[in-house]
Amino acid sequence: MRTYLSVCASFIAAAALAVGQTAYKAPRTSEGKPDLSGIWFTEAFAAAWDIEEHPTVPNIVGGPSIIIDPPDKKIPYQAWGPAKRKDLIENHAFDDPQAHCYPSGIPRVAYAPFGFEITQAPGVVVMMPENFHMYRIIPTNDNSPRMPASMKLFNGESRGHWEGETLVVDVTNQNGRTWLDMAANFTTDTLHVVERYTRIADGTLHYEATLDDPALYTRPWTMAFNIRRETKPGYEVLEFACWEGERDLAHYTKEDGGPKGKTK
């Protein structure tokens, strides 16, 4: 399945990048790899609320779906998935891991409405998102054994390699406690993600992620969007302060996704 997923992601990426884009070759690092370094900011920040199409309403920024496959731009849940999502959003919105200061997981961190910095060294790419002050160390030439399947982490394990102009990151071992957005599009601990980062212009990265989980989805599916370089003078990635164990969560009303019995 991992091989199939990688081939599927590669095909979709090649097709998408071939449409409407001229050939661009990124500057090179000292080891001759595409230079992705800099501070970047997603152009798809509305997906932080819902990765599918959704309108603007109070406290929610509306936006289009970032899903490019399947064609209906919907998550291909198995039959039981929508009912669980409905229960989560109506009765357990306070269980969004971000409400508890937990790491966002992959791919959610890629479209969080915060900047993130990329630095590179031979054989490694480091990503430092401001979102929840997390970081990712991604080896690109490490053939050592992967983590055991029994070891699960919020951000999982990332291994990268280069395919021409594209950094491909294979992400496994996530713990299934993360959501994809605030709309309770949930995950399981068998989620497998293949990310693709391609610098398509001096100030633009193209991002794609193909998600596969036979326990949750009927087929692999892909999201895509662009990420722009942050050029504001003096902009920097700041410390992200989050109050762990926020007591107000217990006082959320039912209308806000809090405990049943508490109403406005």
Q: Please check whether residue 143 lies inside any domain of the structure.
A: yes
Q: Please check whether residue 251 lies inside any domain of the structure.
A: no
The whole-angstrom separation of Cα 118 and Cα 13 is 21
* Domain carrying residue 12: 2-236
Q: Please check whether residue 258 lies inside any domain of the structure.
A: no
Q: Please check whether residue 55 lies inside any domain of the structure.
A: yes
Mean pLDDT along residues 156-162: 97
The whole-angstrom separation of Cα 109 and Cα 132 is 9
Instruction: State pTM to two decimals.
Output: 0.85
| pLDDT at site 95 | 85
Q: Please check whether residue 263 lies inside any domain of the structure.
A: no
Burial class (CB in 10 A: 0-12, 13-18, 19+), 58: exposed
> Cα angle vertex 107, ends 197, 173, to 5°?
110
Under the banding of pLDDT at 50, 70 and 90, the label for residue 134 is confident
Under the banding of pLDDT at 50, 70 and 90, the label for residue 36 is very high
Mean pLDDT along residues 149-159: 96
Each residue's pLDDT tens digit, 164-196: 999 999 999 999 999 999 999 999 999 999 999
Q: Please check whether residue 244 lies inside any domain of the structure.
A: no
Mean pLDDT along residues 53-68: 94
Q: Please check whether residue 232 lies inside any domain of the structure.
A: yes
Q: Please check whether residue 257 lies inside any domain of the structure.
A: no
| pLDDT at site 10 | 45
> For residues 136 and 6, which has the higher predicted lDDT (pLDDT)?
136
Q: What is the CATH number of the domain that holds 123?
A: 2.40.128.20
E strand or H helix at 41: strand 38-42
The DSSP annotation for 190-238 comes to T-EEEEEEEEEETTEEEEEEEEE-TTTBSS-EEEEEEEEEP--TT--PP
Q: What is the β-pairing status of strands 192-201 and 166-172?
A: antiparallel
Q: For residue 48, is pLDDT > 50?
A: yes
Number of structural domains the chain divides into = 1
Each residue's pLDDT tens digit, 61-79: 999 999 999 999 999 999 9
For the chain, the first-to-last Cα distance in angstroms comes to 48
Look at residues 111, 100, 13, 90 and name the one whose alpha carbon lies nearest to residue 259: 90
